[in-house]
Chain A
Amino acid sequence: MEGYELGEYIEKEILDRLVLACIHCGFCLQSCPTYRVLGYEPDSPRGRLYLIKSLLENRVGPEESVLEHLYKCIVCRGCETACPSGIKYGFIMDSMRSQISKSHEFSFIKKLELSIGAKFLISHIDFLRFIMSVIRLSQKIGIDRLVRHMPKPLNELDYLMPSLPTSKIHYSKIPEIIRPDSKRRARVGFLHGCLMEAALPWVNRAMIHVLLANGYEVITPRNQTCCGAAPLHEGFIEYAKKLARRNIDIFERADVDYVLSSASGCVATLKMYDELLKNDSKYENKAKEFKNKVKDFSELFFENGFDKNFGELDLKVTFHDSCSLAHAQKITKQPRIILNSIPGLKLVEMKDSDLCCGAGGLNWILYPEITRETLGMKLQNAKATNASVVLVSNIPCYLNISRGVRRLKLDMKVAHYVELLDEAYRKAKAYSEKTE
C-alpha cells in the first residue's frame, strides 16, 4: 500500500503537521452539518481528519469507504470556526482531494458528475446562461413544477430554479466600465461569477448599483473567468490554478483598487489565490498583490464607510451566515451592522445561523438526502424567527434555501442582503426626487 505523495498544493510534511494539530477533542462535532444529520463519526470533521491521518500513516488505503466520507464533506469550514486549535480544515481537505483525484480511479459516473460540475459548466458561462434562460422560460409556462415529480436525482434539479424577482427573462451583459454620477471614490474590479451571473443576475445588478451609489467606479473586465472554487474543492487544483492565473492577469490589466464579487464564495476563493499559487515563481508575488485587493463587499463598506442615506424598509429579516463569509472569511459582524443602519429594518437572529444549509459544493446533487435534512433544519430555524426574508451572501445558499421555501410553500423570501441595500437606496432616492 503506497502512502500519499503530496507535493503539488502543499508539502506532505506540512499536511502532516496540520493534521497532527487535531488532538481529538471533538469541539467541532456540532458545527458539522453532515454529522448533525448522520451522527456518524467518519462524517464528522474529527473523524475525517482521523481518516486522513490514517491514510498518511498507511493504516488504511484509498478505499471507497474512506474516500466517500472525504467527498461527503461540504467543506463549509464550520469546524474551523469551532476548532480551538485553529486547524486549517478546508486547506487540508482541498489538498487531500487533489491528491485523491490524481491517484484514484473514480467510477465513470462520479467522474462525469465531478467534471461537468467542477470543470465544464463554470468555464462555459454562456452555455450556463442559456440553460438558465430555458429554465426561466419553463418557469414562466409553469412546467418547472414537473421537475419536482421527476425520478431521483433529477428532481433535485429544482435547486437551479430560483424564482424570478421580476418578469424579466433576459439580462443584457454588464457594461465593461460604469462610472458613478458623483465624484469617483475608487475603482472596483467586479467578478461577476459564473453561477451568480447565470442564475441570479439581478443580484449582480443590485451590487453594482449599491457600489455606484457609494461613488465607486465599477469595472467588469471581459474575458474574466470563474474564481475556481468548484475545481479547487472537488480536487482539480491544477485547473483552479489555471483560472486563478487568468483572473490575476485580467484584473491586473484593468488597473483596479479593489476586487469584489457579489458571491461571498467567489470572494473567499479569490482570497486563497496567494496560497494556491505559492510555489509558482512567476505568479507568487502577483497573487499576493491581487489578494490584498480582494475585499468582501461588507468589509469594503465597513472599512471605507458608506452612504447611510437609506429609505425606510418595513421588514423583519433574518441573516443566514453563508459559510464562505462566516467560516472562510470570518466575517459575521459587518453585514449585520450595515443592515442595522437601514431604518425600519428589524434583524432577528435565528438559531444556528452559521450552520451550513448543506448546499455547498456539489453535495446538493451528489448527496441529496443530506442536503434535504440540513435544509430542513435551516428552514425550521428561519421560520421560528417569523421573518419574511432570509438573507444570504452566496449563491448555493440562495438557491438551496429558496427551493426549500418553494417546496414547503413557506411565506418567506430569500435575498442576497445587497438586494435590500439596493432597495433601501432606491427608496431614499425616489423620496428625494419626489420632494425636489
Chain B
Amino acid sequence: MIKYYLRDLIDKKVLDELENVVGPDRIIYDKCELLTYECDAQTFFKKPPDVVVFPISTEEVSKIVNICIKYKIPFLPRGAGTALCGSAVAIRGGVMLALTRMNKVLETDLENQRVTVEPYVTANELTSLLSKYGFFYAPDPASYIVSSIGGNIAHNAGGNHCIKYGVTTNHVVGLEVVLPNGEVIELGGKALDPPGYDLVGLMVGSEGTLGIITKAILRILRRPPASAAILAIFDSIVDASNTVSEVISSGITPAAIEFMDQLAIIAVESGARACGLPKDAAAILLFEVEGYEEELDMLGRRIIEICEKNNSKSVKMAKDIDGIARLMAGRKAAFGSMGNLAPAFVVDDGTILRSKLPEVMQKIKEKSEESGLKIANVFHAGEGNLHPLILYDPRKKEEAEKALKVGLDILRLCLIIGGTITGEHGVGIEKIELMPIQYTAEELRKMAIIKLIFDPHILCNPGKIIPEKFFMEVNKHE
C-alpha cells in the first residue's frame, strides 16, 4: 500500500515542474550539493533528498506539495537543519522544501502581545527585535540563535526557561499550514482558548508529518524587570541532583535550572564559548531567577542556602547582564562544544521525574563505564529533561552503533521509571523503535489514523514518529 514512485531519482519532468514554481535559482539537484542536506544536527542517519526547493511563499509551498502528490513523491520540510533526531532527514528521498527564504516577521502586535512570523525566523532574532519594546519570546532551545521557529514548533521545543514559561506549544496560538494534500489551512488565531478540537496543538510537535507550517502567530511576554544567575559548584553529582529537587519543593520557581557535569564543562571551557566554569568540579548547577530587583536577593539567598546545605563547595550570584548572558551562552553552546572532545555524539533527551535524578545519573554513569564510551551530561534539571551526550567516532562503525544503542538503553531506563523518551528533541527516526514501548499499540494505531486523515498516501515526511507496521494494521482493520 505504501508505494513511492521514482524513489531515488526524480525524472526530468518533475524537475521541470518544480523549477516552473520556484525558478532556476531556488532549486538544487546536483548530487554533490545534495550531500549537504543528507543529515541534520545528528549525523548518524543520513540520506540525501533527490531535490531541494526553496519556496518563498505559502502559495509556492502549496504548489510544490501538489506536484509531489501528483507524482506520489515523498516530501518534507527543513528549516535550519538543527534537529537532533533525524526528523529533517529525507530517509525515503524525494523533495525537500527548505524554508530558509521564508524569514520575515510579518506583524508585531504589542497591544495584544502577538507576533506573526514566517517559519524561518529564529527565536533569537525575534527576541532581539522585541527587546526594544520590553518584550520577548519565551521558548529558547539551546540552538535558538540558529534554529527556525517553524522547526521549534514542529518539535515542540523546550529550552532553558521552560520550567517557568512552558514549552513551545504554550506560546503558539495560530498557524497557517500547507496540508499534505496541498490545501492551505489557517488554524487558531490571535485570541486565546478557541473551542473544539485543538488542531493547533496537534500540529505542534508533529515533526512535519502533518503538513508544512508557513506562518505562526505567537504569544510574546513582557520581559521581567531584573534577573540574576546563581552558579553552584559541587563535588558530587548526587548532591547536585538532590539540590534541584529541594529548590523546587521549597516553593521557588526559578526561570532556569541547568545541570552540567565535568565532561560537559571541559567541552565548553575548551572552546570559543568558555565562560569560566571550574573544570575540576564534578557538576555545576546554573540557576536563573527573575523578578523585581528587591525580591532577587531574597530568592537568591534561599537558593544559596539550599545549595550550601547540599554540600556545594562554592555558590556565587551574578546580577550584571553581561555576566548572566556569558554563563547562559556557555551553557547553550554545550552541544556544539562537544567537537572539542569527539567528532560526533548521540544525544537523547528522556524526561524523568525530578526525584529520580540521582538514581538515573548513577545508571548513566554505569552505562558509560560498561560501554567504554564517554557520556557528558548537560540538561534542563528543572524539568528533569536529561541530555546524555554519548561521544563516539563516526569512522568506527561499531562504535557508532554502540553509541546509538547506549542512548536507546538510557531511554528505556527512563521509561521504566515512569519518564518519557523525549522531552523536546522529537522522535524522528532515532527513537521510532521506542514508540511501541512508550505507547500501547492502540494509542499508536490512533495516531496512525490521525496521520492518515491528513496524509492518506504517507508522503509527508515519511518514516518518522510512527512505526510503519501501525499504518498497515490500520489499513487491515478497514
| Residue contact B336 to A84, C-beta cutoff 8 Å | yes
Partner of B32, one of A24, A54, A82, A87: A54
A366 at interface, CB cutoff 8 A: no
| C-alpha spacing A186/B359, complex, angstroms | 64
| Residue contact B272 to A86, C-beta cutoff 8 Å | yes
| Residue contact B35 to A86, C-beta cutoff 8 Å | no
Interface residues of chain A: helix, strand, loop or mixed (majority): loop
| Residue contact A80 to B272, C-beta cutoff 8 Å | yes
B157 at interface, CB cutoff 8 A: no
Shortest Cβ distance from residue B60 to the other chain A in the assembled complex, whole angstroms? 14
| C-alpha spacing A381/B374, complex, angstroms | 44
| Residue contact B344 to A25, C-beta cutoff 8 Å | no
CB nearest neighbor in A for B25: A38
Shortest Cβ distance from residue A303 to the other chain B in the assembled complex, whole angstroms? 22
**Which residues in window 24-51 of B have CB below 8 A to A?**
28, 30-33, 35-37, 39-43
User: Within 8 Å CB of B271, what residues of A?
Assistant: 83-86
B168 at interface, CB cutoff 8 A: no
Partner of B81, one of A26, A59, A63, A65: A26
User: Within 8 Å CB of A22, what residues of B?
Assistant: 339
**Residue among B33, B100, B143, B270 with the highest chain A CB neighbour number at 10 A:** B33
Partner of A30, one of B30, B122, B343: B122
CB nearest neighbor in A for B273: A84
| Residue contact B146 to A26, C-beta cutoff 8 Å | yes
A66 at interface, CB cutoff 8 A: yes
**Which residues in window 269-286 of B have CB below 8 A to A?**
270-273
CB nearest neighbor in A for B103: A39
| C-alpha spacing A83/B334, complex, angstroms | 11
A335 at interface, CB cutoff 8 A: no
B461 at interface, CB cutoff 8 A: no
Q: Which of A40-48, A197-205, A372-380 contacts B (4 or more CB under 8 A)?
A: A40-48
B475 at interface, CB cutoff 8 A: no
Partner of B54, one of A21, A39, A87: A39
| Residue contact B32 to A83, C-beta cutoff 8 Å | no
A310 at interface, CB cutoff 8 A: no
| C-alpha spacing A60/B30, complex, angstroms | 11
| C-alpha spacing A240/B343, complex, angstroms | 32
Shortest Cβ distance from residue B47 to the other chain A in the assembled complex, whole angstroms? 14
**Residue among A24, A50, A59 with the highest chain B CB neighbour number at 10 A:** A24
User: Within 8 Å CB of B33, what residues of A?
Assistant: 40, 42, 65-66, 69
CB nearest neighbor in A for B337: A84
Map CB proximity to A onto B323-358 as digits: 1 under 8 Å, 0 otherwise: 000000000011111111011110000000000000
User: Within 8 Å CB of B41, what residues of A?
Assistant: 24-26
Map CB proximity to A onto B245-284 as digits: 1 under 8 Å, 0 otherwise: 0000000000000000000000010111100000000000
| C-alpha spacing A87/B336, complex, angstroms | 11
Shortest Cβ distance from residue A12 to the other chain B in the assembled complex, whole angstroms? 14
| Residue contact A25 to B82, C-beta cutoff 8 Å | yes
**Which residues in window 316-356 of A have CB below 8 A to B?**
351
User: Within 8 Å CB of A80, what residues of B?
Assistant: 272
| C-alpha spacing A87/B340, complex, angstroms | 9
Shortest Cβ distance from residue B342 to the other chain A in the assembled complex, whole angstroms? 8
B145 at interface, CB cutoff 8 A: yes
User: Within 8 Å CB of B125, what residues of A?
Assistant: 30
| C-alpha spacing A80/B35, complex, angstroms | 23
| C-alpha spacing A46/B147, complex, angstroms | 14
| C-alpha spacing A86/B128, complex, angstroms | 25
Closest 6 CB pairs of A and B: A85-B339, A39-B100, A84-B336, A84-B333, A25-B336, A47-B36
- Sample (20) of A-B pairs whose CB atoms are under 8 Å apart: A20-B343, A21-B339, A23-B342, A24-B40, A26-B80, A26-B143, A27-B145, A27-B146, A28-B146, A29-B80, A29-B146, A30-B145, A39-B100, A39-B103, A40-B100, A82-B272, A83-B271, A84-B272, A85-B338, A85-B339
